Structure 1
């Protein structure tokens, strides 16, 4: 799942032109902004049959981190990519910490298991 998300974000030329990096879990110390940080925050069973897990529900959290708060254009690209990957937006919040401003968005999808 992580590789799929990273590949989709990196393949988008419009995002590559706007951000300084795309990172999993945490942005490295001394990185440049704006950047994107993504992580899987939940992976729970959603459907069982004959004592076998058939589907899980995966939630991915994406942080668009900026210094100036100008993340809306990047957010539109990220939202389109995630919808194309089959995710649905669950919630979006804005956050400020120290001198950084971020838009944090959760996306959810169902993942089928091969049995």
Structure 2
């Protein structure tokens, strides 16, 4: 994964992951989150690429991640959605979707939405204030 200056295209930093990444990088504040296809989530400082934490999830990422100031949400190949702490990478909760989540997760003030391989759209109530 490479971080480039938007104005010039000059490389700022690059990070080699243990496996390919098929999902887009998510930037939340000063942190960038990289999802590797082996099931690891890497959090780096967005400006420098310095490693902040790495976490192995319970499956391979099958969705683009989405997040807020406190949590990063990832859909996984095992039919799960995991919420990770943005600060530490600790797993805050897991939710069984019943089928593999696909596409992009969407987040509003009260719900996390995901499509599944079974052709369903699911809404999970999330508490973004606490």
**TM-score between the two structures when normalised by the length of structure 2:** 0.25
- Structure with the higher helix share, 1 or 2: 1
Q: Which has the higher contact order (CA 8 A, sep 6+)?
A: 1
**TM-score between the two structures when normalised by the length of structure 1:** 0.27
